[in-house]
Structure 1
Amino acid sequence: MTLWQVALVDLGVLALAGLGLLVALQVGWQRARARWEQELGADPRQSPTELLFSLRATTPAEVVLTALRAAQGRVAEHPMGSAPLVQWLDHLAWDPATISPPPLPRRRVVDTRVRLGPRAARPLELALPVLPAPMGYGVGVTDAAKVALAQAATVSGTAAASGEGPYLPEERAWAHRWILQASRAGWAHQRAVVALADMVEIQIGQGAEAAIGIAKGPRHLPRRLRHASDHPRTPIRIHARPPRSLAAWIRAIHRANPAVPVGVKLPASAHLEADLARLLEAGVDVITLDGAEAASANSPAVISDHFGLPTAVAVARAHRWLVAQGLRDRVSLVASGGARGAADIAKLLALGADAVAVGTSLLLAMSHGQVHRVVPAAGPAALVLAAPRIPGGGLKVGDAAEHLARWFAATREELVLIAQALGVPSLRALNPSQLVARSEEAARLFGIPYAGAPPGRPPAAWAHNLTALAAGYRRLEQILDGIGRGLGLRPPAKGGGEYGGG
């Protein structure tokens, strides 16, 4: 046989083999389909179709948590926060500027700056109202993630935050503006560390963990953190109660660093108005409300999934209360938990926040382009969450910082675009009157017009403006009373406190 004849025979054999394979696959598929059709009609208790009913009644996440409890006999924990029962920010939409007011042209500059702690001697000034959420080294994320966050924050004109972990020198070295989170643990309270901060935030609790105490065993900690500990074989603890009273803590911070704002971070609770009153009485400059959607590296599911108020609800309530008390200009309000991007950030600003802290989206942004090195052996978060051993060689800091900086740049452009579409020249001009509710429940909850209502504002939509007007008159009356008493024209007011009576 010639070479061509051999080739033709080989091709014929391959063709027959391929045809046989196709026939076999067709027969196999028909048999499998027939088997599944029979299974669909069988008793689900004895059929794989039972899984469909189980997953309808129990979410995959709950199946995993149940397996954790069964296997370990301990409190089940999970990372990355909790999905809210209602995503309230998705129930809100913007009312676009059309004829009056008109939108701004794309070339028009929009002011994105913000000052946190306006009554402090040296307020924290940021180029945009977006902050990286505090993530502690060792107890939350890796040192590489901390450095990437600090570098991106500096390039983007915002501030890096220490989180509740120990002091990381290289983070402070890279951060142009740095927020020290004074935690309930036994570290980072030294006077020299406090003096390095551009703002100090006292951590009373957080949305994913309420205000419970936390213990992390040595096997969960990075080697560097274990070696730095005085007791490397014992768990590190973040206590439930602060090491001192709030007033004493604030005084100690002012002694070490008198010019910077002092803030407090706490979980959003149903009694938040009482919390606000006590914080203002203590002289706090910045209040961070951490909503139920907030994430952490690893939190008890029974706390993370079932405690606290949604961030949007908490911010709206806090803003209304501060305005009603005539105290809105005394304190800055930071929203934390569940903000995914510029749309969520802008809505929280409109509801009353001065700035918004973002966490999970930044972790996703910094790991962009590197996830393939750990998946499928581990989840994407393994690149950034602290552990004794990081798979895939760990996070590449340069790439992570670059992608974070691009995320901040894109978010700033999107915030500017929202302001232009609303016809306002500054992000500080965002307010509830520019929002419409996509559901009647959201309209009642936030006091804004329902998109499905006839033209004209319902009574609830006037609540924000009337409250602000009443607070302004009250403030003016306090000023006039003070002038009158100074001139001897009015007797001293009876009752009331530092902020007036009533």
Structure 2
Amino acid sequence: MADILSYITFGIVVFLFVVFLIVIFSWRPIMKMIVKQTGKIIFTDSYQENIIEMMPGFKHMGIQNALENNLRTESGDLLHRPLGSSKNWPHLDPITFIPAQTSPFAVSSEDEVDVSVTIGPKAKKPMKIDIPLMISGMAYGVGVSAEVRLAFAQAANKTGTAVNSGEGGIMQEELDAAGKYILQFSKTEWGKDEKFIKRADMIEIKLGQGAKLGMGAKISPKNLTGRAREVMGLKKDEDAIIHEHFFENQTLKDLKELVDELRDQSGGVPIGAKMGAGGKIEEDIDHLLEMGVDYIAVDGGQAATHAGAPVLSDDFGIPTLHAVVRASNHLKRRKVKDRVSLVVSGGLVIPGHFLKVLALGADAVYVGSAILFATAHSQVTKALPFEPPTQVVWNEGKYSHQFKVEDGAKSAEKFLNASIEEMKTALRAMGKRSLKELSRKDLTSYDELTARMIGIPYTFQPLGGKGK
């Protein structure tokens, strides 16, 4: 038997060696033959039988649209797309900053720049943070894993900023690790304990978001497993329900009473509301002011989510650029900009984006997708190449158990610090020593429509005058 196995092994080795030699010395003729045959098929078959038919088909429909239609066909159910819209929305790129080079002059790189922010300045207990970037609400269980939430909390604490709870479960260890904590008061049965309200440094009533607007969700037990169910107080076979309303037959009066109740229970921390930016944003803001909020969080059309219907992400809302300009303008018209803070999010992923929306009138920025991918950083290689990188961070991800909190926290901290340093460098280049000195006067645009819409100079015309 041993001799037979030896002969078989020897035969396999010889065969593989021969194949290797053939590949080494004959790869060019083999490749030429393959290309010749493939080319003949492509160039001679009729369109009806030609694989190239896919090219005009995909160009007509779009690869993503074709893919999503096949997913709809397979499931026969509502499609849940991660990470929001992939449309090319009008954005911040055509806007540039005006440098200080002759008078005024740039600020020395050795001089400190103040980028601290106060949210809800007229509240009994305003929230003060060291940087204008806050970690957006990415929910535990419903979205990300416990490990990712802990990494967010630690990074926020280290950088002197705040982390938003999102609409998922709230862990005690997360509260212990976080510095400033924003409780997202959502349309759910969980996350509303009095101890959470009293712990919060700010409370955000979630009316909507950019990628899903005011719609809720039903999450089955098979799609929400593990400790998250216990934290959220769900029974074994109970669906996790995110409702569309807080109250039956809901009215603005109900929401105003909710604001007053939360303000009283919390001891006076800023109470705000989050909404997706829509075509009647001024009317929506008026309603929020009627509710008595201390800040408004506006989520633009480019915002992301763990899972949302493409029709909500792609075919509703307005671009973040339009939203921040209209919201800021309206708060000024209502003469409340000094007491009602504006927080903006949606498609803001680099320091230039962050600083531009602050110049356009935002008081702070929620960072979502950018901080999520930064937190995952090199840990995404645990999922690649056979699974998408988000499988490392989602609560139900196949590799979520391999995510290391310490590494994630350090990555998120570095990203926030690096972003702030870039923003400080930009402020110095504009001759500024404080974020409070930044305004629309520091902006220009090489797109004439964008310049006219915002009320900033068009780059083809002299600053403060008209070109001939």
- Superposition TM-score, scaled by structure 2 size: 0.90
1:76 corresponds, among 61, 76, 79, to 79
Q: 1:17 to 1:295 in 2, by over 3 A?
A: closer
Q: Are residue 437 (structure 1) and residue 440 (structure 2) matched?
A: no
* Matched residue, 1:107: 110
SS in structure 2 opposite 1:88? coil
Q: Which amino acid is 1:35 matched to?
A: Q
Change (3 A) 1:392 1:120: closer
Change (3 A) 1:214 1:457: farther
Q: For residues 114-171 of structure 1, give each alpha carbon's deviation from its aligned partner in whole angstroms, at most 9, with x where no partner exists.
A: 0000001111001000001111111111111100000000000001111111222111
Determine which of 233, 238, 263 is the counterpart of 1:234: 238
Output the CA distance in 1 between the equivalents of 2:381 and 2:88.
32
Name the aligned partner's letter for residue 161 of structure 1.
Answer: N
Determine which of 363, 368, 384 is the counterpart of 2:372.
363
User: Using the alignment, how far apart are the partners of 1:217 and 1:191 within structure 2?
Assistant: 27
In the alignment, residue 34 of structure 1 is paired with which amino acid? K
Please, which moves more after superposition, 412-421 or 40-49?
40-49
When structure 1 is superposed on structure 2, of 398-407 and 40-49 the one drifting more is 40-49
Residue in structure 2 matched with residue 33 of structure 1 by the alignment: 35
1:154 aligns with 2:157: yes
Offset from partner CA, 1:41-93 (integer Å, 9 cap, x none):
54333212122222322333223211211111001111112134334111211
How much does 1:15 deviate? 12
| Match runs of 1:78-477 below 5 Å | 78-228=81-231, 229-243=233-247, 245-387=254-396, 390-391=398-399, 393-454=401-462, 456-457=464-465
Contact 1:84 1:310 in 2 (8 A): no
Q: Kindly indicate whether the alpha-carbon contact (under 8 Å) linking 1:437 and 1:451 is maintained by their aligned counterparts in 2.
A: yes
Are 1:422 and 1:434, in contact at CA under 8 Å, matched by a contact in 2?
yes
2:60 to 27, 52, 57: 57
Shift of 1:457: 4.2
User: Which digits, 9 at most, give the CA deviation of each residue in 1:286-326, with x for residues without a partner?
Assistant: 10001111111111111112111111210111111111222
Residue 281 of structure 1: how far off its partner (Å): 2.2
Cα displacement string for residues 196-231 of structure 1 (whole angstroms, at most 9, x for unaligned residues): 100000000111101012111111113113345343
- Structure 2: 5+ residue runs without aligned partners? 1-15
Change (3 A) 1:16 1:226: closer
Distance (whole Å) between structure 1 residues aligned to residue 234 and residue 358 of structure 2: 43
Taking the aligned partners of 1:455 and 1:287, their CA distance within structure 2 comes to 33
TM-superposed deviation, 1:454: 4.7
In structure 1, the gaps of 5 or more residues are: 1-13, 460-502
Shift of 1:252: 1.5
Distance in 2, Cα, partners of 1:159 & 1:50: 52
Measure, in 2, the Cα distance between the counterparts of 1:405 and 1:73: 42
Cα deviation digits, residues 404-423 of structure 1 (max 9, x gap): 11001101100100101111
Q: Kindly tell me: are residues 53 and 122 of structure 1, through their superposed partners in 2, closer, same or farther at Cα, counting changes over 3 Å?
A: same
Q: How far, CA to CA, are the matches of 1:193 and 1:139 in structure 2?
A: 18
d(CA) in 1 for partners of 2:152 and 2:23?
A: 54
Shift of 1:455: 5.1
Instruction: Look up the equivalent residue of 1:409 and give its one-letter code.
Output: N
For residues 108 and 160 of structure 1, what CA distance do their matches in structure 2 show? 29
Determine helix, strand or coil for the equivalent of 2:288: helix
**What is the CA distance between 1:449 and its match in structure 2?**
1.6
Matched length: 445
Residues 90, 321 of structure 2: 8 Å contact kept: no
Q: 2:222 & 2:21 partners in 1: Cα distance?
A: 57
Question: What TM-score, normalized to structure 1?
Answer: 0.85
Displacement of 1:257 after TM fit? 1.1
Query: Cα–Cα, structure 1 residues 43 and 451, in superposed 2: closer, same or farther, change >3 Å?
Result: farther
Alpha-carbon distance between aligned partners in 1 of 2:154 and 2:441, rounded to the nearest angstrom: 37
Q: Is the alpha carbon distance of 1:44 and 1:274 closer, same or farther for their aligned partners in structure 2, counting shifts above 3 Å?
A: same
- Residues 449 and 458 in structure 1, CA contact (< 8 A), matched pair in contact too: no
Instruction: Provide the aligned C-alpha RMSD in A.
Output: 2.1
Alignment partners' CA distance in 1, 2:27 and 2:99: 57
1:177 shift after superposition: 0.8
CA distance in 1 between partners of 2:296 and 2:369 (Å): 21
Change in Cα spacing, 1:255 to 1:19, as seen in structure 2 (3 Å) is closer
Task: State the secondary structure of the residue aligned to 1:357.
Answer: strand
Residue identity in the other structure for 2:454: F
Mean Cα deviation higher: 283-292 or 423-432: 423-432
Q: Given the alignment, which residue of 23, 26, 37 partners 1:24?
A: 26
**How far off its partner does 1:392 sit?**
6.3
In structure 2, distance between residues paired with 1:60 and 1:181: 36
The alpha-carbon distance between structure 1 residues 440 and 40, as it changes in their structure 2 partners (threshold 3 A), is farther
Give the structure with higher Rg (CA).
Answer: 1
Q: Is the 8 A contact 2:123 2:269 kept in 1?
A: yes
Deviates more, 1:64-73 or 1:176-185: 64-73
Q: How far apart are 1:27 and its partner, in Å?
A: 1.4
Q: Give the C-alpha shift of residue 376 in structure 1.
A: 2.2
The alpha-carbon distance between structure 1 residues 16 and 150, as it changes in their structure 2 partners (threshold 3 A), is: closer
How far apart, CA to CA, are the structure 1 residues paired with 2:358 and 2:17? 67
Paired residue for 1:8?
none
| Aligned counterparts of 2:96 and 2:195: Cα–Cα separation in 1 | 46
Worse overlay, 318-327 or 330-339: 318-327
Q: Which residue of structure 1 aligns with residue 13 of structure 2?
A: none
Instruction: Assess, with a 3 A threshold, how the Cα gap between structure 1 residues 458 and 180 changes in structure 2: closer, same or farther.
Output: farther
